[in-house]
Amino acid sequence: TSSGGNGNGRESALGLGGVEYAREAVRLGRPETAVRILDREIGGASTDARLYLERCNALVSLGEHGRALEDAHTASYLAPKTPQGFLHKGNAQIALCDHDGAMATFQLGCVANPSDKELREAWFSAKEMCRTWRRAGKMALGGERARIQAFEAAREPCLSQVSGLARAEDRAAALKNLARVHVKWGRHTEARTLLDAAVREAPADMHLRYARAEAN
C-alpha cells in the first residue's frame, strides 16, 4: 500500500503521499497525472478542501478552467476561512471572462478573510475590470459611435483571451459570459454575435442554444 493510500506503487517507492506526488507531477509538467492521483484521493476524502485546491491547480495547468472553477467553488464552500479557495475561484472566473462573478467571489473572500492582502488586491483588480464595462455602458459623450468603440476596446482583450483557452467548452462559457455583460448594458446586437460564436464552440450545449434563442 502506498503512503498516500491510493495504491500507486511508484508513489510508495518515492516515499510520497498522494498530494505530494501530485504536486511533484505538476512541477514536472505532468498535470494529467496529478489529476488522476487527486481523483483517487478525493474519492477517499471528499470533504477535504485541500484536495480540491490541489486538483484545481493541476486543472489550471492543463488549461481546464471550467473544471478548475468547480473545484475552487467546492473548496471555498468547504473551507471559507481558507483564502486560496476564493482566490482560485475568482481567478478561474476571470479566465472565463466572468468579471462580475470574480468581483463577487473576491468580495466574499474578503468578508470571510478580512486580513488577507492578496484577496483584497484581487478584489480591487476585478472591480477595475468591471468599471471598464461600466464606463463603456454609461458613456454619454460621442453618442452611439463612441459607445460602440468603447465596447470594442473592452471586448478585444477578452476575445484574445478566449482564443487562447484550450477547451471548446471553456471558450463557449467565456463567450457566454461576455454576452451576459453586453446584455447588462443594453448591447443586445453584440450579445447575439457572441452567443452565436459560443454555440459554434459547443453546439451540443442546449443551455447555450436556449440562451441564444432567448436573445432574439
- The predicted-structure confidence for 101-126, as pLDDT tens digits, reads as follows 999 999 999 999 999 999 999 999 99
Distant-in-sequence, close-in-space partners of 147: CB < 8 Å, separation ≥ 6: 136, 137, 139
Residue 67, pLDDT > 80, answer yes
pLDDT digits (tens, 9 = 90+) for 38-55: 999 999 878 999 999 999
User: Which pLDDT value is given to residue 90?
Assistant: 97
Residue 7, pLDDT > 80, answer no
Mean local confidence (pLDDT), 124-134? 96
Q: How confident is the model at residue 213 (pLDDT cuts 50, 70, 90)?
A: confident
User: Which pLDDT value is given to residue 44?
Assistant: 84
User: Which pLDDT value is given to residue 8?
Assistant: 40
Please give the DSSP secondary-structure letter assigned to residue 167: -
Least-confidence region, from 2-6, 68-72, 96-100, 125-129: 2-6
Q: How confident is the model at residue 216 (pLDDT cuts 50, 70, 90)?
A: confident
User: Which pLDDT value is given to residue 133?
Assistant: 96
* pTM score: 0.86
Least-confidence region, from 106-115, 133-142, 163-172: 133-142
User: Which pLDDT value is given to residue 140?
Assistant: 82
Name the nearest CA neighbour of 150 among 142, 125, 176, 103.
142
* Alpha-carbon gap, residue 180 to 170, rounded angstroms: 15
Give the count of beta carbons closer than 10 Å to the beta carbon of residue 78.
17
Residue 129, pLDDT > 70, answer yes
How high is the mean pLDDT of the chain?
Answer: 90
